[in-house]
Amino acid sequence: MTDTSTFTPPSDPAVEPERFAPRWAPDAPRGGRAVLTRVLKDSAAVPLFLGQTFVQSLRDVGYDSTTSALCEHVDNSIGAGASEVRIYFRQAGRRGAQQTDVLVYDDGPGMAPAVLQVATSFGGSMSYGSREGIGRFGMGMKTAALSLTPAVEIYSWQERRAFYRMILDTNAIGRDKANLITLPDPEFMAELPAEVGEFFVQPMGFPKNRSEQDLLGDTDDAGEAVGPSGTIIYMPDCDRLSYATAKTLVEHCVKEMARVYRRHIAGGLKLWVNNRPVEAIDPTFSMPNARHAAIDGLKTRTSRLVAAKKIAIERGGAHKPVEITVKLFALPIEEWSDLPRKVQKNDLGVFSGHNISVLRNDREVFAGFLSEIVRRHGDANWFRIEVDFTGELDEAFGVAANKQGVRLKSYVVDAIVKEIGDDVSSVREEIKRVQTKRSIAKRPDVPSASETRATEADAFQPDALDAELTETQRQQMDENLRGLAVVLKREGEADEAAFERVKQSKYLIGYRHDEYWPFYHVENKFGRIILTINTAHPFYAELYEPLMRVATPETGDGETGEPVASPAPNGPSVVLELMLFSLARAQSVLGRESPDAAKLFDTLRRKWSEAFRIQLTH
């Protein structure tokens, strides 16, 4: 390692220029390169931030999508007290060379010129560090806008036709050779520029049906339409958008913001995208005024609140613990399972994957699965968890400045799981019972694929399940089977249909939910092998149920998590059931020959089941 206390740069003039020449990319900011060269050669004062490159670098802060960047502007509008926010995507030009301009408008109180100037600076905020609102650091508006466009224009006004404008142009800043880059005073304008004003007085290109668009004001005068106060963020010629077409940008924006700002919309915020109002979308289905509640054909329109817990989260040091609220909701699976697939998937969004919703100060910052809290199985589509916390716990929840996602600390996860873990387990068990019940009810009078295959193969087994019967014995057997059919009758199955199914099948499968049973149970009655699967044993959730959800012509994409009455003849679930049937058959035949063997097999099954349970759950 070089000892810098004794190191002196070489004095050879031929060496120094090459040593101190910045090796920047050809498209790097020329002004920044000039400043750096000046600092290295002339020992000029070194700025804490090299503005020319700093601003360029902020273009790569990294937002998940165009919508997530625009959410920063909506956050600011809500924080300022706006009651109406409008987002516009304007696209023009020929296909493949289209220019897309984006604009965000709000009817808030606007900013005074001095405040507007401060707000345009990086770190400039009138509420820096405050955890009560949505924003904290005074960075979001600028970084979000620059992530989409190299130049952003900000307009704000507090009286009609008294617009003040600030422009933040990364290309212009990059050419500036000053060590200290300062912002100019806001520019006063009596009218909005034509390219900005037309957003408010002309329909957007999408939606194409003009009747679907409700313009801001019933006037051709943009200055009049925008009202006596407000703020506009104009991002022309965006070069970093998530999608190529205005249609897709609009649809994604509507879908995401409807969920992120659902509570604000329900509270009275008017949110528009390309002149169409945004309705609240609630992934928990608990809000009676959200979009799902208006869908035709719903008898039950909201989810059921299963548990609501206040959980104290420690902050460390001298800070007092702060409470979070965790709610668990069960969706009406019995009622909604009968709805058409399109309604379930597209209209309601049951299978959207938004199993857990995390909200910071009533604004959603995460929607999806958190595997450390719940495991992802088909039954998870039918319950929701909602977590509410305040800005005081930003560090505990791992919320970044751009409010994209959460990274919960382990002690937060542990506290949540401790409080609602048992409730979640109970809900999942209930969902599985309903799914199993519905699976059998789909085709109650039809033997399953495994029952059919095992029955067909029984003629080739070396040991018969029952002896040849006389006509009298056969009649008696039919009476016995009628009694057995009553016990094994499936929901929705007629008595005669149940008898015919039991009579033609030597192998019968059923389900039972019992915490104290082994994972499978075997009976041999009247020459029938009756296999009962215990849906309460972890075997069911970890192996049996996932195999039943493997996509087949009967299951579609497997999202519902319901077992299938008749899966593919060679599917993995059928093979598993045949394995259990063959095991049950062997035990029945050997147990028939020796009572001691029957007791041994029963003990083995219970011991094996308990060992299996422990291995699956610990």
Give pLDDT tens digits for 222-276.
Answer: 999 999 999 999 999 999 999 999 999 999 999 999 999 999 999 999 999 999 9
Q: Specify whether the CB–CB gap between 148 and 102 falls below 8 A.
A: yes
pLDDT-wise least confident of 69-73, 318-322, 353-357, 602-606: 318-322
Which tops the pLDDT comparison, 46 or 134? 46
- Which tokens belong to 463? 């040991």
Residue 53, pLDDT score: 72
- Using 50, 70 and 90 to split pLDDT, how confident is the model at 560? low
- Burial readout 202-219 (b: 16 or more C-beta within 10 A, e: otherwise): ebbbbbeeeeebebbeee
Place of tokens 């050809």: 26
pLDDT-wise least confident of 402-411, 546-555, 558-567: 558-567
CATH number listed for the domain at residues 291-431: 3.30.230
Q: What number of CA atoms fall less than 13 Å from residue 447's CA on the CB side? A: 22
- Using 50, 70 and 90 to split pLDDT, how confident is the model at 442? low
450: left (phi over 0), alpha (psi -120 to 50) or beta: alpha
Nearest residue to 128 (alpha-carbon basis) of 136, 139, 120, 117: 136
Q: For residue 576, is pLDDT > 70?
A: yes
- Using 50, 70 and 90 to split pLDDT, how confident is the model at 41? confident
Q: Give the start-to-end residue ranges of the domains of the chain.
A: 1-46, 57-277, 291-431, 443-617
What average pLDDT does range 118-144 have in this prediction?
Answer: 65
Residue 557, pLDDT score: 45
- Using 50, 70 and 90 to split pLDDT, how confident is the model at 567? low
Q: What is the pLDDT of residues 387-398, one digit of tens each?
A: 999 989 988 998
Nearest residue to 390 (alpha-carbon basis) of 308, 320, 285: 320
The proportion of the chain whose per-residue pLDDT surpasses 90, expressed as a percent, equals 47
Which tops the pLDDT comparison, 502 or 386? 386
Q: Specify whether the CB–CB gap between 389 and 341 falls below 8 A.
A: no
pTM of the model: 0.74
Q: What is the pLDDT of residues 145-186, one digit of tens each?
A: 999 999 999 999 999 999 999 999 888 877 777 777 788 899
The proportion of the chain whose per-residue pLDDT surpasses 70, expressed as a percent, equals 87
Whether the upstream peptide bond of residue 207 has omega within 30° of 0, thus cis, is yes
Residue 561, pLDDT score: 52
CA–CA distance from 300 to each of 207, 308, 337 (Å)? 32, 21, 12
What average pLDDT does range 203-207 have in this prediction?
Answer: 95
| CATH number belonging to the domain at 57-277, selected among 3.30.565, 3.30.70, 1.10.20, 3.90.700 | 3.30.565
Residue 2, pLDDT score: 46
